[in-house]
Structures are given as C-alpha cells and as structure tokens.
Amino acid sequence: MIIVLRPEATEKQIRHIVDKVKKLGLKPMVSKGIERTIIGVIGKEDILRVQPLEVFPGVEKVMPVLAPYKLVSKDFKPEKTIVDAGGVKIGGKKVVVIAGPCAVENHQTFLKIAKIVKKAGASLLRGGAFKPRTSPYSFQGLGEKGLKILREVSKEVALPTVTELMDIRDIDVVERYTDMIQIGARNMQNFNLLKEVGLLKKPVMLKRGLMSTIEEWLMSAEYILSNGNFNVVLCERGIRTFEKTTRFTFDVSAIPVVKNLTHLPVIADPSHATGKWGLVAPVGAAAIAAGADGLIVEVHSTPEEALSDGVQSLMPANFNSLMANVTSVARAVGRSI
C-alpha cells in the first residue's frame, strides 16, 4: 500500500505516520521526491483497511499496490531513480557505458585496457575478481588480489568500478574495493545475498537470471529495496531459449517493459547476451534505441589471450566503433553519451 502525502506535509506529520505504521507491525519506506513524499507500507495490508490513514494530517490519499513488487513499482515512485555509482549518474539523460575485461588478470593488462576504454568514452570500469564459471577447472578469478588491482587501476585512470559479488562471506572485501556491486545472473534469486546487499548503501547492479521472468527479476530487486538500499540498477543480459546461434537470447522488449513498470534504471549486457564479439555493437545499439540507460561491455586488448570470455570481448578498435554507433543512436533518441 502507498500513502501519498500532500505537498505541504511537514516532517512532524511524516514522523507521526511512520510511527503509527510501525506500531501496527508494518514496515514503512519513505521516498522523498521533488514534489511529493510517498510512504510505501510493507506487510499485511488487511491491517490498514481498518485503520483510516486518510484522516491523518498531511495525507492526500492511500492506494493499494496490485503488483507483487511494491517498492520497485512506479506506483511507489513515479519519478525516475538516478543511481550514483562513484560520481557517475545512471538513469538520467546520459547513456552510461561500463567497459573492461571479463576478469582482472594482472595489473599491467588491466591498466592497459582501462586506459583504452576511458579514452573511448567509458564512464565506469568493469573487472571480475570472483568468477562464476560453468566448469570448476576454468579460471575462477584472483579474489582479493584482483580487487586490489581493480582499486589501484581505478585510482590511476580515475574511473569508478563495478565487480561481481558471489558469496555473502565476501561482502566486506568487495564493498571495500569497488564503487558498484554486481549480482550476476546465477545469483539473481540468491535471496540471502540480496538481503545482505540491501543493508548496504553501495549501488547494486542486478542482472536478470538465465531463465527468469520479468516479474521474478523485479521481485529480486524488491528484496534489495525492502532492506533499505534503493540504489539498484537492473541489467538485461539475455535469457535461455531454444535458439543456439547465440549464447543467450537478448530480450530487447524487456527494456521498455521494465521501464514502464519500475522507476529503477535499466542497462543491457550485449556481450553475455550474444556471446559473439561481432554481435555486441548492433545489439548494444538496439538496447539504447529501446530505452536502455547504459551498456556493460567486455573489452580486451588481446582477446585470444583472455583467461575468460575472450570470444565475446571487443578489441580496442571494435570498442571505438561501438562507442561511435551508440553515440549516434543515443542522440537520435534524445540522449547523450
């Protein structure tokens, strides 16, 4: 249920409503917009049906939320959420490009790639230290050593960073070294992990699961928001279908659908969606045309030597071409890079 307050509602009135909701055994979540303040109420709404909240000073109206996701929905927050990741704003007019190698391999290679993507116009630097691999014999990442390299290079090139968190036990160390935490597709429904990152103030990028519906994706985001962290960016990265010519099937329609359902920013991952470097640029452009707020792209100076995902990584020249194409598409839809 959502309590919409009047524009002139005072802090005292807001506190009074919040206290009353808590006494009823429900959880209030306050969202202050430019024009209005809204209080989302989580819990058994039957309690509120016998409690006339409309009569409270400062209340304009009380509305039920029909969608199973409450805080994620546009009913709760009609205005777009802008997520700040290390000073980079995601969700506004500017299309944000996140780029870098799949995995941090060593300082020298990572620094070289970081300089390349920054020069081309990337706003954030990606690099995995903990890698979820299908085979237990594949490169699993450098762990904390990789995180330290990530932070060192971030400072050298002045780019904020994104890296994946896979295990609750690594939360403290990952939070210490990165500007945005990525929850990968395979952990989208790891609810204990989602609850824990919900307790943080650090931005979270939540990737759609391999075989997850849009509703399941948004319900996973709800876990994070319901624990207090509203700094969530959704990432469409393709879903598993019967089609085998690409690694996954990129669901471009999910972007406008989700943008209509939620106030959260939505970005796309054409690298993992297609699994083929030659498809990354056109699919990325399609995502921007469909309304995506950004892209996360894998780039490597020597893909043939990459320890992870070399086949879908762009070489520097190809990444430059992608940036040129995406810039043109962004301008065509009234946005910028």
pLDDT in tens, 179-237: 999 999 999 999 999 999 999 999 999 999 999 999 999 999 999 999 999 999 999 99
9-27 confidence digits (pLDDT tens): 999 999 999 998 898 888 8
**Mean pLDDT, the chain, as a whole number?**
93
Instruction: Please check the confidence at residue 255 and state whether its pLDDT lies above 90.
Output: yes
Q: What is the pTM of this model?
A: 0.89
CB 92 within 8 A of CB 82: yes
CB 213 within 8 A of CB 188: no
Q: What is the percentage of the chain residues whose pLDDT exceeds 70?
A: 97
Which of the four pLDDT bands, split at 50, 70 and 90, describes residue 75?
A: confident
CATH 3.20.20.70 occupies which residues in the chain? 83-332
Question: Is the CATH number of domain 2-63 3.30.70.1140?
Answer: yes
Residue 4, both tokens: 């919409």
Instruction: Please check the confidence at residue 66 and state whether its pLDDT lies above 70.
Output: yes
**Distance between CA atoms of 248 and 153, rounded to whole angstroms?**
31
Instruction: Please check the confidence at residue 137 and state whether its pLDDT lies above 70.
Output: no
146-166 confidence digits (pLDDT tens): 999 999 999 999 999 999 999
> What dotted CATH number matches 83-332?
3.20.20.70
Q: Which residue has the tokens 């306050």?
A: 30
In eight-state DSSP terms, residue 269 is: -
**Distance between CA atoms of 93 and 269, rounded to whole angstroms?**
19
Beta strands in 154-306 (DSSP E): 161-164, 180-183, 204-207, 232-236, 266-268, 294-298
CB 214 within 8 A of CB 228: no
Q: Cα 158 to the chain's mean position, in Å?
A: 21
CATH 3.30.70.1140 occupies which residues in the chain? 2-63
Residue 35, both tokens: 């024009």
Beta strands in the chain (DSSP E): 2-5, 27-32, 37-42, 59-63, 83-85, 88-90, 96-100, 124-126, 161-164, 180-183, 204-207, 232-236, 266-268, 294-298
H/E run at residue 283: helix 277-289
